[in-house]
Structure 1
């Protein structure tokens, strides 16, 4: 009997405590709360501190093309225009590989108005011009590759790059004079420099073509 009375008494006490503990009006009224007179320590970051966190991080990729044909044309395109398809230089040379309108007309492109905005056409023009230069210089390539002229070892890719810079005729003069007949373009870039810079790429699959056409 005493045990039962004790249990009932405990339950009544718990009931009273629970009922009064969740009385929000008495225990959870923060309307009169103030921080006046308190020593507060906090730090709100400035905009400058947040900026590095807001800038998206772009992953960096380095594509290694090696001494392939793709590596050859991309390296040459970067040297000519930093790979910009829509650039026109002070002398009127256009696009990634810096073609003149006269050279494009020679390869069948009569209207070059859309040339800067047609990347496929520019790539086709590069292949066509390279195959033409290979045909013009076919005998000089056969005679000169492997030799050293003006301190530069001659390779087929170097010859084709130099022809892109100076024209096949000037490269022919350089090779047939063993490097004594030299050429520099309006920016001071020489055949010798291109022969060295673009040496050793694989351009073997480029087919020499006497009359290439830009498709």
Structure 2
């Protein structure tokens, strides 16, 4: 009888102890450390990133933060397709969707109006203020260039031309800079025809700077268009 009576006290006491331990404040746990407040989570809009540069080092650029967080975050993109396009965007415009340079090239990836027409974009003002369309344009242009340069990619990737090892990502980056025709002339002349833009960046420089990225995500497409 005594044993049965004691059970009425032990079981409720054990339950109370469990609730006490569960609800007791843990001094070692700071919930604020796990908050997402202050993080820029929309990557369609303007932000800066950290990326792997040609020398194998990570370039750090502070993220813009509308919430004025005291923390700085550096997403590591490596040699992925995202790393490729963000590294190229940083070289072109420091990743600014809404910039226009002195020659009239537009947006994060610095497109010219004639190139935009080739991928189905005819309103440059709408393009400039539409980050999602700019991302679509980058991919469509790369797909079109990959189709135009498909034979040269097959022929030259893995070989050395004018002191640099040719990679697919280097070819596509150079085509973004100077057009696929200029890349064909560079490769087929083994580097003797090396076109530069108005700011001094050359096909050779882009092929070297942006070599070794994984651009298998980009599919060769003769009729690629930027469509939302």
After TM superposition, the score normalised by the length of structure 2 is 0.68
Matches within 5 A, 1:59-98: 59-98=71-110
Whole-Å separation in 1 of the counterparts to 2:179 and 2:204: 13
Q: SS of 2:192's equivalent?
A: coil
The answer to whether the 8 Å contact 2:104/2:112 transfers is yes
Whole-Å separation in 2 of the counterparts to 1:89 and 1:145: 32
Cα deviation digits, residues 18-52 of structure 1 (max 9, x gap): xxxxxxxxxxxxxxxxxxxxxxxxxxxxxxxxxxx
**In the TM superposition, what is the alpha-carbon distance from 1:57 to its structure 2 partner?**
6.6
Whole-Å separation in 1 of the counterparts to 2:134 and 2:69: 33
**In the TM superposition, what is the alpha-carbon distance from 1:131 to its structure 2 partner?**
0.3
Kindly report the root-mean-square deviation, in angstroms, between the aligned alpha carbons of the 2 structures: 1.0
Q: Which residue of 2 aligns with 1:166?
A: 178
**In the TM superposition, what is the alpha-carbon distance from 1:204 to its structure 2 partner?**
1.0
Whole-Å separation in 2 of the counterparts to 1:157 and 1:136: 14
Q: SS of 1:113's equivalent?
A: helix
Q: Of residues 202, 205, 208 in structure 1, which corresponds to 2:214?
A: 202
**In the TM superposition, what is the alpha-carbon distance from 1:103 to its structure 2 partner?**
1.1
Whole-Å separation in 2 of the counterparts to 1:94 and 1:139: 30
Cα deviation digits, residues 126-159 of structure 1 (max 9, x gap): 0000000000000000000000111111000000
Moved over 4 A (4+): none
Give ranges in structure 1 of 5+ residues lacking alignment. 1-55
Whole-Å separation in 1 of the counterparts to 2:130 and 2:69: 31
**In the TM superposition, what is the alpha-carbon distance from 1:209 to its structure 2 partner?**
0.7
**In the TM superposition, what is the alpha-carbon distance from 1:175 to its structure 2 partner?**
0.4
Q: Which residue of 2 aligns with 1:52?
A: none
Q: Which residue of 2 aligns with 1:185?
A: 197
Cα deviation digits, residues 67-112 of structure 1 (max 9, x gap): 0000000000000000000000011100000011111111111222
Whole-Å separation in 1 of the counterparts to 2:136 and 2:91: 18
Q: Does 1:146 align with 2:158?
A: yes
Cα deviation digits, residues 166-185 of structure 1 (max 9, x gap): 10000000000111111111
After TM superposition, the score normalised by the length of structure 1 is 0.73
Q: Which residue of 1 aligns with 2:7?
A: none
How many residue pairs match? The answer is 160
Whole-Å separation in 1 of the counterparts to 2:115 and 2:69: 43
Give ranges in structure 2 of 5+ residues lacking alignment. 1-67
